[in-house]
Every structure is written in structure tokens, then in C-alpha cells.
Structure 1
Amino acid sequence: MDRKFGLLNSKSVELLTNTFWNIGFYMHIIFGGVALLIGWTQFSPKMRNRRMALHRKLGKVYVVAVLLSALAGIYIGFFATGGWISSTGFICLGIIWFYTTLKAYLYIKRGAVEQHQKMMVYSYAACFAAVTLRIWLPILTMVYGDFSKAYLVVAWLCWIPNLIVAYLLTRKTTNIDSVVH
């Protein structure tokens, strides 16, 4: 892997060769990628209504992928570039992602469909932080002229606006279908 740019360039050789950190890093990106890839499909009313069995199977894959990626993200968050400010941002993101996903799963197990749907909007908003981080980081790096300063900001900016959007989408809806139409 090319370690000459951005995130990995900012890590020490000791950390990059640490087995536990590497396991956490790769668990986070692989399972997070799976969640990001399949999560958006779960919001399709057509898929839910016509292929409920597929929705449930993909939902279980999403939940497992998120729980593993979030736990790994919390662990690697302790080693985030920028010290405690960025670490706190990424650890909070991991906790929120884990919590909202687990809560959504528990809601659907109890048959609370509306609460499940709302929590999944929050879960995917946290998941989508992977995308918003990659949008904001190059912009902030250009603005600040420094990757490390940009990373301090993006540790929070990649997910807080996403959760605000999730709140706005879910606060008055009684059915998630009205969110995706």
C-alpha cells in the first residue's frame, strides 16, 4: 500500500507495523465498505415491498458489517492523526454508528418498524461519513494548506452535518417512504 499520501503518511512506522492496528484498520475499511455499498439499497421502498426476504438478508449483512467496522473504528480512533481532538471526533462517530445500528436492529426485532427506519437513517448518515470525509478533506487541506489541521476539522465535519440532515429527514416523517421519494 502506498503510504506516501495523507492519512497513512501521517502515521509512524511503529503504528503501521503494529498487528492490532492493521487488523483494526483493515476491518474498519473492509466492513465499512460493505456497509456503505449495501446500505443505500435498504432505503428503496420497491425493494422492501417486493423483496422483503432480500431486504432482511442485506439488512443483517449491513448490521454485522457496521458493528464490526464501528468497533474497529473506535479502536483505531485512539490513534487518529491530530491527537485527542480528532480521536474524540472519530471515537464519537464510531459509538454513534454502533449505537444507532444496534438500536435499529433491536427495534425491528420488536416489530417497531417506524423507529427501526428512523434509526437506520441515522446509522447510514454515520456510515456516509466515509464519503463526506473524502469530500471535505481535500477541500480543507487546500484551505488550511496543511493536512493535519484539516484532519482535526474533518474528524467532526464528516459526520455532524450528516446527523443533522438525518434529524431533519426523520423528525416529521411517519413513514420512511416519504423520505426516499
Structure 2
Amino acid sequence: MTSMQYAKWDARFDTVLRRLASTFAVLVWSSAICFSLYIVLLYILAYFTGDMTRWNHGASEFYVEGMPIATGGIGVHFLAGAVILLLGSIQLIEAVRNRWIGLHRLVGRIYLIASLLTAIGGILFILLHGTIGGPVMNIGFFLYGVLMAAAAVATYRHARAKRIAVHRAWALRLYLLAIGSWLYRMEYGFWFLFTGGLGSTPDLTGPFDQVMSFFFYLPNLIILEFVLRSSYRANSIGTKAMASLALLMATLLLLLMTLIFVVEVWGPAIWERDTH
């Protein structure tokens, strides 16, 4: 292959990677929006209509009669969690960060407050009631809440100090944590699709469930740290081709899982509510 041909193919793969990355980002946001609407329609509206037993949909045990503080904590967790799913991806849009700085800052403040409330509400529920999965799940989700709160504080602190590069690194950490509840369900969906639920039990105490108490957020943070601290750049055509293929497969799988969740889980839960 001549240098001219190499440059042409290199440019083509750059274009493919950019388009696939944009498509994947839009799909992540769209899927997260669907999940946030599910939260609002199933849980938040159930509170205002007085049908609190709807909070215990499926294996969930979120509503416990006689424990108003724990119930309030998880309610705040639901509401604020829906907000961060809706707003988080906006902060990643380069045009918003560079051209509409006022909007970026306004959305950022709301996002950070909602992230803190999500973390505090979840931690409060764990301390007062505990999760369905027992001690391992309690520890995993408690750590998740602590990390989210810490990332939100660090993101704000570095923005105030105008340490922009450090601020953006913490904002990425916070984003991966903030979409954790969505990732948790997506990863369960992949597992059940390919293994039929191997190692998972209805009370979420199986070996797979215990691994998932940490897996939905820790590997993502580790990979991000590697990317942030590495000077590696994908320069070869072969590497770009493999990255394009991996991103294409991830996009197709995410699209499939989103459709399955909308049809099999999120949609029926909402429609079931409407028929009551």
C-alpha cells in the first residue's frame, strides 16, 4: 500500500470512528432517557397518586411501610437519578461546553446537585433499610454512592478553581457513575440474553449478583483512568479498524438491549400502571 493509499484509508477510518462514536453517544443518551422516563412514570407518579406499593415492582423492595425516612431517601434517589440521566450527556457535547458556556454552567450546577442528592438518598436507604441482595450488595452500592458524591464535589471544586483539565476528568468519572443505574440494567440484560441468567437468583444473592454489585461501576472507572493517564493514540489503520468494529458491535448490542427493555420491561411496567 502506497503512502497516499494509506493516508486515504486512514482518513476514512477516522470518519467512520467519529460517526460511530456519535451514533453510540446518541444511543446511550436515548436509552438513558427511556430509563429515566420509566423511573418518573413508574415511581414518581406512584408517589403522587398514593399507590406506593408500585415501588415494589418485580423483586424490588423500595417501599417499606412505617419507614418514612428510608422511603423518602429512595424517593429522592429516584427523582434526582432521573434528572442526571436526562442532563448528563448534555455536558459531554463539545458545542455546549465551548459556545454556550452559560447553559453548560447552569446544567452543570443542576447536574451536580442532583448527583449529590442521588448519592445521599441511596446511602440513606441502605443505612436504614438495606438492599434486597444483603451485605455484599449493601457494601457495593454504598461504595457506589460514596464515589458518586466524592466525584460530584471534586467536579465542582476544580471547576471553581478553573482547573479545567482536572475538572473535565472528574466530570467524566461522575458521568460514568451517574449512568450506573442504567448500566446496571443493561449489563444484566446482556447477561440474561446470552446465559439465561446463570448465577443470578430472584433475591439477587447469587454469585453473578454479588459480582454485579461492583461490576457496574468499578471496571468503567478503571478503564477511564487508563485512558486518562495514557499517552497512547490509535494511529494504525488496523487498530482503527478493530476499534470501529468493536464500536459497531457495541452499538448494535446496545440498540438490541434497549429495544428489549422497552418492550419487555420498561414499557409493560408503565402500561400496567396505566391500566390500574
- Would you call these one fold, judging by a TM-score over 0.5? yes
Q: Which residue of 2 aligns with 1:157?
A: 215
Counterpart mapping for 1:30-49 below 5 A: 30-49=79-98
- CA distance 1:133–1:16, shift in 2 (3 Å): farther
With over 3 angstroms needed to count, the CA separation of the structure-2 counterparts of 1:128 and 1:113, relative to structure 1, is same
* 3-state SS in 2 of match to 1:73: helix
| Stretches of structure 1 lacking an aligned partner (at least 5 in a row) | 174-181
Instruction: Name whichever of 72-81 and 135-144 sits farther off.
Output: 135-144
Q: Decide which structure has the larger Cα Rg and report it.
A: 2
Q: State the distance in 2 between where 1:37 and 1:52 align.
A: 19
Give the aligned partner of residue 29 of structure 1. Answer: 78
**Residue equivalent to 1:73:** 122
Query: Contact 2:154–2:170 at 8 Å: present in 1 too?
Result: yes
CA distance in 2, matches of 1:152, 1:77: 16
The answer to whether residue 54 in structure 2 is matched with residue 5 in structure 1 is: no
Indicate yes or no: 2:183 matched with 1:132: yes
Q: Name 2:105's counterpart in structure 1.
A: 56
Alignment: residue pair count: 169
Which residue matches 1:178?
Answer: none
Alignment partner of 2:56: what SS? coil
User: What letter corresponds to residue 156 of structure 1 in structure 2?
Assistant: F
Instruction: Choose from 148, 166, 188 the match for 1:97.
Output: 148
Q: Given the superposition, is the C-alpha separation of residues 96 and 2 from structure 1 closer, same or farther in structure 2, using an over 3 Å criterion? A: closer
Shift of the alpha carbon at 1:145?
A: 4.6
Contact 1:81 1:151 in 2 (8 A): no
Q: What stretches of structure 2 of length at least 5 have no aligned partner?
A: 1-53, 232-276
Q: Distance in 2 between matches of 1:84 and 1:128?
A: 23
Q: Give the C-alpha shift of residue 170 in structure 1.
A: 2.0
| Segments ≥4 residues shifted beyond 3 Å | none
Query: Relative to 1, partners in 2 of residues 1:2 and 1:111: Cα closer, same or farther, differing over 3 Å?
Result: closer
Q: CA deviation at 1:77?
A: 2.7
Q: How far 1:6 sits from its partner (Å)? A: 2.1
**The 10-residue stretch of structure 1 (162-171 or 140-149) with the greater mean CA deviation from structure 2:** 140-149
- CA deviations 1:130-175 (Å, max 9, x no partner) are 11111123436711251322432221111112212321332247xx
- Find out whether 1:111 has 2:157 as its counterpart: no
Query: TM-score if structure 2 supplies the norm length?
Result: 0.57
* C-alpha contact 2:200 2:209 (8 A) present in aligned 1: no
Offset at residue 17 of structure 1 (A):
4.5
Query: Is 2:91–2:108's contact at 8 Å kept on the other side of the alignment?
Result: yes
What is the CA–CA distance in structure 2 between the aligned matches of 1:4 and 1:104, rounded to whole Å? Answer: 34
